Structure 1
Amino acid sequence: MTPTPAPAPVRRLRSVRVRILAAILVVTALGLLVSGGASFLLQRDRILASIDEELRQQVESVRTIVESPEEAVVVEPDDAPLTAAPTDGSGFTDMDSLLRTVLGQVLPRLDGSTVGLVDGVARWEPQPYALSFLLDDDSAFLARVSEETAAGATVLGWGETDDGTLRYAAVPLRVEGAGTEGVFVTAIDTDARLSDLSDVSLSYAVIALVALAATGLVGWFVAGRLLSPIRELRRTASRITATDLGERIPVGGDDDVSDLTRTVNDMIGRLEGSFEAQRRLLADVRHELGTPITIVRGHLELVDARDPEDVESTRAIALDELDRMGHLLEDIAELSEAEREDRVAPQPTAVGELTRQVLAKVSVIPGPRWRSGPVAEVSVDADAARLTQAWLQLADNAAKYSPEGSTIVLGSERRGDRVELFVTDEGPGIPPAARDRIFERFGRVDDGRGIRGSGLGLAIVSAIARAHGGRVVLDSVPGRGTRFALSLPLERHPHDDTADRTGSTE
């Protein structure tokens, strides 16, 4: 059962053009996504690493202030106001003075903040400039930091507050004899630090979408142009029928699609030739079989069953005509086999040895005198049995049409990049008007001599020559003789010309 074709919209979605475009867009989108994602992650890691490095520098500055206050310097980021209080260089006797000194010398960036805790309570924050956020506003965060630093170790961690995601460092502080616990906390708003990267990523996404759309638009037109020969091929194929194979697809360019178009045109040409040959064969067979059938039928209708002599005569005529029809069908089958290239089995064949073998076979044909001509000692790729069959057919034709006792020469000779297997007779020759007809099915020369045959002999010879990439060469002078030759390439090139019907002017 023939499957029901899909609706037109579904077929369009499954078309080669759509699938090519989809593959291009998917690969392009993946490339843009991977490159953009990798760039974003690398930049994000770089920014976060710079934040951690900044926090470590502040931690080191706090330790320097605590251990050697006389060597401490003001630690300022590039965008912080230069309004830090100088250290007095003296030792610390209480926690408040230590935190005041640390907060006065270790200043945050505008996207950061610091705070000093005494016994878990915010007591000190940097002055006198305003910060983008304050740490002492989030009691839960301060309680968490106090708990994390209770063991006396510096902490580097992440925190979520109302102001966003923070990366912070907490340094526990102690002053001997003060009886209080202090913590210096510094934090950076990572959302603010990463905001520029987010803007760049958004811009990249917009540009990538525009590039993807442009790629899809260009890909759609390019794919359509490249596949236009295939669409033309489909339209042409839909117009071609068994009765009209003359249309061809226009070819332009030298790409793969153009090669496909040429191949399809060649295939259509071969189909056209096959259909035409089939129609011609059927017409010729109908014509050739019509005569013997008419003869047999007429004699059977008129036979006098009571006259033994008439019955015997009619029987002889019927058997003769049936034999002729049998030979005709055999020749038709032989021609069909000869036209099939897959029935030819080329092998390296010595032309000289083949010439001597064929001459030995034809020498027993009565009537003419057989003589050897030149012998080409070359080798060709050919089916020796098929060549022998064609060569014997030429020799048989020469014997039929040559006068009794005349000389027929059989030989082979090299001519350039080809070799010719020839038969030359001294017969009546072939009129120019008949030189095309004799190579057609059932084509005969009407010479009035009553020589019977199916008219398929030279068609078979021509088919065998074509199957070997060669042709039949005819050279004839009326009244002086004829030369037939199988012209074969030393290097095989299939589908050469059928025949070369030339005539000598000597």
Structure 2
Amino acid sequence: MRPRPPRRPLLRTVRAKVLAAVLAAAGFGLVLTGAVSVLVQRGTTDQRVDASIGQEVQELRVFAATGVDPRTGRPFASVVDLLRAKIESDVSDEYETALGIVRGGPTYASAVRPFDLNTPAVRAFALGLTPDAPATTTFVTTAEGRMQVTAVPVALTPADPAQPSEGVYVVGHDLSPEYRLVDENTRNFAVTAVGALLLVAAVGYLVIVRLLRPLDHLHAAAVGVGADDLSHRVPVHGDDDVADLARGFNGMLERLESSFESQRQFLDDAGHELRTPLTIVQGHLELLDVADERDVAETRALVLDELARMTRLVDDLTLLAKARQPDFVRLAPVEVGQLVDEVFDKVVPLGERDWRVDERTEVTVAADAQRLTQAVVQLVSNAVKFTRPGDLVALGSAVHDGELRLWVRDDGPGVHPDDLERIFERFGRAATGRGVEGSGLGLSIVTAIAEAHAGRVDVRSAPGQGAVFTLVLPLAAPAETAATGATPAGLRPPAPQEVP
């Protein structure tokens, strides 16, 4: 039973950290947006209030510049007439009112007064200005709220010296109603922002849980994997970065499992196959009569023969164990025609046979020339073992359907259909091969070399009709073929030919 992974506190999980980061970023964005919105709205409100008050002040200056009462068409007799005429002609905004204060005289107020501007604080501010002072603005807090007050000193030389010559025109604007809309918009935005954050939290949690679920499987697999069980795999869903991580982890497990399996099989095969020669050597040494020179010589020859057989067996097993390693083959451009010629020259001395070359193709492929030579020589060696002097043994190469084919053909006893799969197994032998010298690893080695080149080994045979063993290899290099499915630069495949 696999151990269950320990539970981590919720706030220390990746989900919680990612969700917290998302919410923090979203919250910061909403707060920043709200703050900018409030500042913009307040700035717009202030500009509108300033524009409204500025309009009233400008109208007063027009009145003073013309010096004529627009209602009667006669000049203003004194500052009293000027302020009264301006107050009576005012059409103020909804939250605005005006006040005319004559120094030492009456005070005039707008007919429509949303609030009372004639307060001690306003009068003290207005009457405190000197006659030559510019328009001055201040803020006054009253029972109605916060007011923006602008006072403009007015001076006019009267026709009658007894009449007042100085006064102050005051315009007040109530800011509370103006800012109330801004505050209401701010509250609405805050409620909407909180709702948006809750929605982001809910949707974000669901998405994060779904995206990070492979990490849970990955953790469970990492905890559950042991040296005796590497079969566990991580379920992969989707096509994102986390899914790629799961695929990479599964690939690592497959490579580890393959490596452990190769080691285990190597130990099993070595222990099984070496036990017999070791037993033979031990038995003969135990029965050796050291006083009998003939017995000593015969035992010595037998022991050396068994040791040589064990050496060949160990070499073959070591080669098969290395077949799964990345550096088993070293790809380089290989001229296939030249390779066939060189192999042919090497194998002719193996026996007195009817040696032939069926076909020879001129093509350059990315392969390991030494490994290919080793595989073809092994096939030729098997053909020589199962044929008699004068029998046919032929080599050939051709390109067919985008694949390179290297074959070895003989007219020996052939292979029974029931033995076609067994002969490629380690230490597997066909019925016709019993009694023939060999470790039973030759075709396993050939298969390993072909698979390292992303190829395969085909066999066509029938009892009594000989056999044809063919190495089928892709024209492109294995890595490039898997990645692009195209022939890499530098390879020159000729037109397809029929293979005998």
* TM-score strictly above 0.5: yes
Partner in structure 2 of residue 455 of structure 1: 440
**SS of match in other structure, 1:303:** coil
Please list the CA deviations of residues 88-139 of structure 1 after superposition, one character each: whole Å capped at 9, or x if unmatched: 54433444443333333335434234333445x895251444433435232x
1:28 Cα deviation (Å)?
A: 2.8
Give distance in 2, aligned partners of 1:135 and 1:268. Answer: 89
1:143 Cα deviation (Å)?
A: 4.4
Q: Report the residue type matching 2:115 in the other structure.
A: S
Q: Report the residue type matching 1:115 in the other structure.
A: L
> Do the aligned partners of residues 391 and 144 (structure 1) sit closer, same or farther apart at CA in structure 2, a change above 3 Å counting?
farther
Partner in structure 2 of residue 8 of structure 1: 8
**SS of match in other structure, 2:473:** strand
Structure 1 stretch displaced more, 236-245 or 182-191: 236-245
**SS of match in other structure, 1:132:** coil
Instruction: Give the RMSD, CA atoms, in angstroms.
Output: 3.0
Asked if the contact 1:419–1:490 (Cα under 8 Å) also holds between the matched residues in 2, the reply is yes
Alignment of structure 1 residues 67-78 onto 2, 5 Å: 67-70=65-68, 72=70
Asked if the contact 2:150–2:170 (Cα under 8 Å) also holds between the matched residues in 1, the reply is yes
1:144 Cα deviation (Å)?
A: 4.8
Q: Report the residue type matching 1:316 in the other structure.
A: A
Give distance in 1, aligned partners of 2:6 and 2:126. Answer: 68
Question: Are positions 1:32 and 2:2 aligned together?
Answer: no
Structure 1 stretch displaced more, 51-60 or 276-285: 276-285
Give distance in 1, aligned partners of 2:99 and 2:245. Answer: 78
Question: Are positions 1:161 and 2:159 aligned together?
Answer: no
1:324 Cα deviation (Å)?
A: 2.3
> Do the aligned partners of residues 7 and 223 (structure 1) sit closer, same or farther apart at CA in structure 2, a change above 3 Å counting?
closer
Asked if the contact 1:346–1:381 (Cα under 8 Å) also holds between the matched residues in 2, the reply is yes
Match of 1:61 among 59, 62, 68: 59
Question: Are positions 1:298 and 2:296 aligned together?
Answer: no
1:18 Cα deviation (Å)?
A: 2.9
Partner in structure 1 of residue 492 of structure 2: none
Identical counterparts, % of pairs: 39
Aligned length: 472
Asked if the contact 1:47–1:194 (Cα under 8 Å) also holds between the matched residues in 2, the reply is yes
Match of 2:156 among 158, 167, 175: 175
Alignment of structure 1 residues 336-415 onto 2, 5 Å: 336-415=321-400
> Do the aligned partners of residues 347 and 308 (structure 1) sit closer, same or farther apart at CA in structure 2, a change above 3 Å counting?
same
Q: TM (normalized to structure 2)? A: 0.84
Give distance in 1, aligned partners of 2:105 and 2:24. Answer: 55
> Do the aligned partners of residues 102 and 449 (structure 1) sit closer, same or farther apart at CA in structure 2, a change above 3 Å counting?
closer
Asked if the contact 2:266–2:321 (Cα under 8 Å) also holds between the matched residues in 1, the reply is no
Question: Are positions 1:192 and 2:151 aligned together?
Answer: no
**SS of match in other structure, 1:373:** strand
Alignment of structure 1 residues 317-332 onto 2, 5 Å: 317-332=302-317
- Give the unaligned 5+ runs of structure 1: 73-86, 497-506
Structure 1 stretch displaced more, 411-420 or 327-336: 327-336
Partner in structure 2 of residue 443 of structure 1: 428
Partner in structure 2 of residue 41 of structure 1: 39
Give distance in 2, aligned partners of 1:14 and 1:422. Answer: 63
1:288 Cα deviation (Å)?
A: 0.9
Give distance in 2, aligned partners of 1:404 and 1:449. Answer: 19
Asked if the contact 1:158–1:165 (Cα under 8 Å) also holds between the matched residues in 2, the reply is no
**SS of match in other structure, 1:194:** helix
1:21 Cα deviation (Å)?
A: 2.6
Give distance in 2, aligned partners of 1:365 and 1:448. Answer: 18
Alignment of structure 1 residues 123-162 onto 2, 5 Å: 124-134=107-117, 136-138=119-121, 142-146=123-127, 151-155=132-136, 157-162=137-142
- Give the unaligned 5+ runs of structure 2: 483-500
> Do the aligned partners of residues 294 and 379 (structure 1) sit closer, same or farther apart at CA in structure 2, a change above 3 Å counting?
same
Asked if the contact 1:443–1:455 (Cα under 8 Å) also holds between the matched residues in 2, the reply is yes
Please list the CA deviations of residues 211-233 of structure 1 after superposition, one character each: whole Å capped at 9, or x if unmatched: 11011101211222233344334
**SS of match in other structure, 1:474:** strand
Give distance in 2, aligned partners of 1:316 and 1:104. Answer: 140
> Do the aligned partners of residues 232 and 338 (structure 1) sit closer, same or farther apart at CA in structure 2, a change above 3 Å counting?
closer
Asked if the contact 1:429–1:478 (Cα under 8 Å) also holds between the matched residues in 2, the reply is yes
Ranked by relative contact order (alpha carbons within 8 Å, sequence separation 6 or more), the top structure is 2
Match of 1:214 among 186, 199, 207: 199
**SS of match in other structure, 2:349:** coil
**SS of match in other structure, 1:404:** coil
> Do the aligned partners of residues 195 and 449 (structure 1) sit closer, same or farther apart at CA in structure 2, a change above 3 Å counting?
closer
Q: TM (normalized to structure 1)? A: 0.83
Asked if the contact 1:281–1:441 (Cα under 8 Å) also holds between the matched residues in 2, the reply is no
